[in-house]
Structure 1
Amino acid sequence: MKVTQHIERANGKTLFSFEILPPLKGQNIQSIFDSIDPLMEFNPPFIDVTYHREEYEFKELPSGLLQKKIVKKRPGTVGICAGIQNKYEVDAIPHVLCGGFTKEDTENLLIDLDFLGIDNVVALRGDALKNEIYFKPEKEGNAYASDLVKQISNLNKGVYLDEDLQNSSCTNFCIGVAGYPEKHMEAPSMDSDLHFLKQKIKNGADYIITQMFFDNQKFFDFVEKCKKAGITVPIIPGLKPIATKKQLNLIPHRFKVDLPDDLIMEVVKAKDNDAVKQIGIEWCLQQSKALIQAGIPVLHYYSMGKAENIKAIASEIF
Structure 2
Amino acid sequence: MVQKRAGGIEVSFEFFPPKSEAMEASLWTAIQRLAPLGPRFVSVTYGAGGSTRERTHHTIQRLLGETDLDPAAHLTCVDASRAEVDEVIHQYRQTGVKHFVALRGDGQGGAGSAFVPRDDGYRNGADLTAGLKAIDPEFEISVSAYPEKHPESPDFATDIDLLKRKVDNGATRAITQFFFDNDVYERYVERVRRAGVYVPIVPGIVPIHDFVKIARFSEATGANVPAWLARRFEGLENDPQTRAHVAAAVCAEQVLDLTQRGVGEFHFYTMNRADLVYSICHILGLRPGPMAVEGNEGAAAA
- Aligned with residue 138 of structure 1, among 118, 137, 149: 118
Q: Aligned partners of 1:254 and 1:192: how far apart in 2?
A: 20
Distance 2:214 2:25 in 1: 31
Letter in 2 for 1:265: R
Shift of 1:26: 5.7
1:230 aligns to what SS in structure 2? coil
Give 3-state SS (helix, strand or coil) of 2:8's partner: coil
Which residue in the other structure is 2:244 paired with? 277
Match for residue 165 of structure 2?
199
Pick closer, same or farther for the CA change 1:253–1:75 going to 2, 3 Å: farther
**Partners of 1:305 and 1:276 in 2: CA distance:** 18
- Richer in strand (by share): 1
**8 Å Cα contact 2:215/2:225 also seen in 1:** no
| 1:50 alignment partner AA | T
State whether structure 2 residue 203 is matched by structure 1 residue 237: yes
Contact 2:76-2:104 within 8 A present in 1 as well: yes
Deviations 1:76-95 (A, max 9, x none): 11221121122221100010
How far off its partner does 1:29 sit?
Answer: 4.2
Q: Rate the CA distance shift 1:33–1:12 in 2: closer, same or farther, 3 A.
A: same
Match of 1:93 in 2: 72
Match of 1:35 among 30, 36, 40: 30
| 1:184 counterpart residue number | 150
Counterpart residue type for residue 295 of structure 1: G
Contact 1:146/1:196 (<8 A) preserved:
yes
Provide the secondary structure at the position in 2 that maps to 1:246: helix
Aligned to 2:290: none
Relative to structure 1, is the Cα distance of residues 142 and 251 closer, same or farther in structure 2, using a 3 angstrom cutoff? same
Give the alignment of 1:42-191 within 5 angstroms.
42-54=37-49, 72=51, 75-130=54-109, 133-157=113-137, 172-191=138-157
| Superposed CA offset, 1:106-141 (max 9, x none) | 211111111111121010001112289421223411
Q: Relative to structure 1, is the Cα distance of residues 285 and 74 closer, same or farther in structure 2, using a 3 angstrom cutoff? A: farther
Q: Deviations over 1:23-48 (max 9, x none)?
A: 01565744421121111231112101
Q: Distance in 1 between matches of 2:22 and 2:120?
A: 32
- The percentage of counterpart residues that share the same residue type is 28
Alpha-carbon contact 2:12-2:39 (below 8 Å) kept: yes
Decide whether the 8 Å contact of 1:181 with 1:219 is kept in 2.
yes
Structure 1 Cα separation of the partners of residues 217 and 24 of structure 2: 27
**Correspondence 1:5-24 to 2 at 5 A:** 13-24=8-19
Q: C-alpha displacement at 1:245, in angstroms? A: 3.7
User: Which structure exhibits the higher relative contact order, with contacts defined as CA atoms closer than 8 Å and separated by 6 or more residues?
Assistant: 2
Aligned partners of 1:302 and 1:130: how far apart in 2? Answer: 22
| Greater gyration radius | 1
After superposition, give the CA deviation of every residue in 1:149-202 in whole Å (9 maximum; x if it has no partner).
111121225xxxxxxxxxxxxxx2111100000000101111111111111111
Question: Which deviations, in whole Å up to 9, do the C-alpha atoms of 1:54-78 show, x marking residues without a partner?
Answer: 2xxxxxxxxxxxxxxxx74574112
The TM-score with structure 2 as length reference comes to 0.86
Equivalent AA in structure 2 for residue 45 of structure 1: R
Report whether the alignment pairs 1:266 with 2:226: no
The one-letter code of the counterpart of 2:265 is V
After superposing on structure 2, the runs of 4+ consecutive aligned residues of structure 1 that deviate more than 6 Å are 9-12
For 1:260 and 1:137, how far apart are their aligned partners in 2? 33
Question: Bigger CA drift: 244-253 or 115-124?
Answer: 244-253
Q: Secondary structure at the match of 1:114?
A: helix
Counterparts in 2 of 1:192 and 1:139: CA distance versus 1, 3 Å: closer
TM-score by length of 1: 0.82
Gaps of 5+ in 2: 287-302
For 1:85, give the aligned amino acid. L
